[in-house]
Each structure stands twice: as C-alpha cells, then as structure tokens.
Amino acid sequence: MKNTLCLIKVFLQVNLQMSLAYRADTVINLLLNLMWLGWELLSLSIIFSNTKTLGGWGVGELITLLGVFRLVNTLMAALLWPATEKFNASVRDGSMDYTLLQPANSLFLVTFARITVWRIWDLVLAVILVVAGTFMSGAGTSPLSLLYFVVLTLSGVLIIYSLWVVLIALTFWFTKFDNNVTILAALLDAGRYPSTVYPAWLRIIVTFVVPIALATTVPVQALRGELGGQQVLIFLAVSAASLLVASQVWKYGIRQYSGASS
C-alpha cells in the first residue's frame, strides 16, 4: 500500500510539472470548461421554462445529477482518457514491454501514468453543483442517504472504470482499435439525464447491459432517499463483479500481447 501511494505521488508530481509547463493551455481549458458548464445550465433552464419536471425530476434534482455526471466524467477525463492514446500506441509499437517489465501492476501503471492535474478544478465545480442542486430541490438529506450517495458514486466510478478496462483491453486482440474512448464517452453521455426519461428498452440497456445509470442516476436516487440498504448492497455487488470481470479480461489480454520482439 505504501509503495502504491508513493507511485501515485510521483505520478502527480510529474504530471503537475507537465501542466505547469503549458500554463496557457491550462487556463484555456479551465475557461472552456466554465463555458460548457454555462451551456449545460442554460440548456436546463430552457427545458424547465416549458415544464416543471423531466422524467419526474425537478430542476434542483437535475442540477444534482449534472454535478454527479461531471464528477464521474471528470475522473475519467483526468485519469483514463489521457492514458488511452498512449496505451493504444504502446501496444502497436511494442513499448508496452517496458510497462510489463516494471515491478508493479501493469493496469495500475497504465491507469495512473498520465494524470490531467488541472481537472481538480472540475471536481470542485461538480461538488458545488451537487450541493446547490440538493439545496434547490428542497428535499431533506439524512446522514444515511448522504453515505449511500458517496458509496454509490464511488461504486459508479468503478463501473465506468471497469468498462474502460474492457474496452482498452480489446486493443490486445484488435491492434488498431482506436475508438475505445469515443465509444465509452458516447455511452457516458447517456448519464446526463435520469434513466426515467428514456424508453423502457433503452432504460434496460443503460441500467443493466451498459450500466451508465448506476454511475449517475442511482447515486442521486440514494440522495433522494429512494434506495434501501439491500438495494445499495446489490449495486455494490454489481460494481465489484464489473471490476472482477474487467481484471480477468485484462489478464487474458496481456497473454495475447506479443511484444516488440515478434
């Protein structure tokens, strides 16, 4: 555990130095993210100027959901998206050999080698949206509901992470599979809105087949007090199973990797 924390600290230091080397890019990215946040809030205001609810959710609850969506999406953008392009290239040119030879878990190294440090600002904005949306909804939040919300949000992140692992692992079989991030990002966009707005067949897909709703809608439902302890345990079991499956797919993929020598 100590070695893992030391590695994460080193990765953060290296990536922070890289971000500071391009300060103008960092500032521009921050401004662009603020612009997109403004556009998303404007879109919600337009929607709720014509209706009071969307799929049974009020404006405050949709803002909370937007905060959760941005929280999950930011973690993906800070950790996973930057690592994907480098990983895809390393499988093609054989430089993945260097990762596999390191005395550390290869999946851990691929995940944390590239971190977009300035995204911490997006995490702050996401938390502000969650707090503001909860306040606007006017619904009381119990300590237990808050605990369920935190646990299920982390569980949702693990589910998205597991999907990412499976998608990038496919590169071991399909070397030029470069659309893995695009596919997951497109799927993740479904989490911007509650699953109740989708038709039944699509709701089943985003909840059970590709469980995007478990990462966004379900944590907000827990915050609203709609979930019991048994349901929370079921969702936790789903995230644990997803991570287990993803780790097995990764191991099988490593066995398929031929390296630079072949």
The tens digit of pLDDT for each residue in 160-197 reads: 889 888 888 888 887 776 676 777 777 777 778 888 88
Measure CA 112 to chain center.
Answer: 14
Cβ within 8 Å of residue 18, ≥6 positions away: none
Q: Which of 5-19, 87-101, 209-223 has the lowest mean pLDDT?
A: 5-19
- Of residues 117 and 217, the one with the higher pLDDT is 217
Nearest Cα neighbor of 170 from 255, 249, 89, 259 is 249
Burial classification of residue 133, based on how many CB atoms lie within 10 Å of its CB (0-12 exposed, 13-18 middle, 19 or more buried): buried
- Global confidence as pTM: 0.82
What's the distance, Cα to Cα, between the start and end of the chain in Å?
A: 35
Stretch 99-119: mean pLDDT: 80
Please write the tens of the pLDDT for every residue from 60-92. 888 888 888 888 888 888 877 777 777 877 888
Domain ranges of the chain: 2-256
Cα–Cα distance, 126 to 65 (Å, whole number): 10
3-class SS at 57?
strand
